């Protein structure tokens, strides 16, 4: 038994994804209370990742708190305490609102309302001359009117790791249509000038046989190419929520560009046509 117990990072990013995980963390902490001696002390060092986490339970039990946010007001717009203004600006631009709120402000509620603000949206009219292309598919397995749509995104990445949504589809498709669409998009972008590589990723759940079917079609059509399986979890790191949060810094810092929203020909596109760079013009995604 110990006179001083120091708890370091009892709560982690992976332990707050469900109410059950939070409850188990709190229970494990409670079990450790019996390790104390007669007059014992407890120190808690950690980061808050959820408004209802184990640390919230400790606060409600009356534990003495010493919470040190990175700004004087505990908000992103406050004045930094231990960082310079330049360092704080760099911190805010290098991470999403959720991570900033948790790790720098000790207040997950400050990052709980995650939105992509309209002023973050930037569109590309003429793409860079050289790109790597990634075709990513999130399939839906039914064409019923009530089912989800299959989403296929064609994303280009330049030498500076800026990202461009250049092409894609979002329709209800059966298995045959998904294969035809993937194959057609890949062939289309392989032919585009300045494209260095084209890779295909396909989200897979459970025992779905889509990729096995695609491999059979490659044999029949003598058109072979690798498809990377994207088996994302539904909770924790890599979950949909987690992936959306990781997109936020790119949008906020204007490093993710979308295709045009209409068919109007802009002055930049006219200049590209005059230079003979018609293949670099980005058109709206239908």
Q: Give the model's pLDDT for residue 37.
A: 66
Q: Give the model's pLDDT for residue 207.
A: 47
Q: Do 76 and 127 reside in the same domain of the chain?
A: no
pTM recorded for the entire structure: 0.63
Q: Give the model's pLDDT for residue 283.
A: 94
Mean pLDDT of successive 10-residue stretches along the chain, which has 286 residues: 85 85 91 78 89 89 89 90 92 84 83 68 95 94 69 96 96 92 96 96 74 93 92 62 77 92 91 94 91
Is 286 a member of any domain? no
**79: exposed, middle or buried (Cβ count in 10 Å: 0-12, 13-18, 19+):** exposed
Q: 107 is in which domain, residue-wise?
A: 2-111
Is 126 a member of any domain? yes
Is 247 a member of any domain? yes
Q: Give the model's pLDDT for residue 2.
A: 77
Strands 150-157 and 163-171: antiparallel
CA gap 271, 277 in Å, rounded: 9
Q: Give the model's pLDDT for residue 233.
A: 60
CA gap 164, 161 in Å, rounded: 10
Residue 226: count other Cβ atoms within 10 Å of its Cβ: 9
Residue 31 dihedral angles phi and psi, to the nearest 5°: -60, -35
Widest CA span of the chain, in angstroms? 84
Is 70 a member of any domain? yes
Q: Give the model's pLDDT for residue 272.
A: 94
The length of the chain in residues reads: 286
């Amino acid at each position: 038994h110990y006179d001083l117990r120091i708890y370091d990072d009892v709560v982690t990013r992976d332990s707050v994804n469900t109410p059950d995980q939070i409850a188990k963390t709190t229970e494990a902490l409670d079990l450790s209370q019996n390790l104390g001696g007669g007059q014992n002390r407890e120190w808690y060092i950690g980061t808050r990742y959820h408004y209802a986490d184990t640390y919230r339970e400790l606060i409600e039990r009356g534990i003495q708190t010493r919470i040190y946010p990175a700004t004087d007001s505990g908000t992103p717009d406050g004045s930094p305490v231990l960082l310079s203004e330049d360092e704080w600006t760099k911190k805010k631009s290098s991470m999403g609102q959720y991570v900033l709120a948790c790790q720098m402000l000790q207040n997950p509620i400050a990052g709980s309302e995650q939105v992509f603000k309209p002023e973050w949206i930037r569109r590309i009219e003429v793409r860079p001359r050289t790109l790597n292309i990634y075709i990513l598919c999130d399939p839906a397995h039914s064409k019923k009117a009530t089912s989800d749509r299959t989403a296929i995104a064609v994303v280009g990445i330049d030498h500076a790791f800026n990202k461009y949504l250049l092409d894609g589809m979002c329709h209800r498709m059966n298995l045959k249509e998904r294969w035809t669409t993937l194959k057609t998009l890949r062939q289309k972008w392989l032919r585009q000038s300045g494209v260095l590589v084209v890779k295909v990723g396909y989200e897979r759940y459970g025992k779905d046989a889509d990729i096995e079917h695609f491999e059979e079609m490659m044999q029949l059509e003598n058109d072979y190419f690798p498809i990377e399986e994207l088996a994302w979890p539904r909770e924790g790191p890599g979950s949909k929520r987690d992936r959306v949060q990781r997109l936020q810094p790119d949008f906020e810092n204007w490093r993710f560009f979308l295709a045009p929203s209409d068919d109007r020909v802009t002055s930049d596109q006219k200049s590209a046509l005059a230079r003979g760079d018609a293949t670099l013009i980005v058109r709206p995604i239908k």
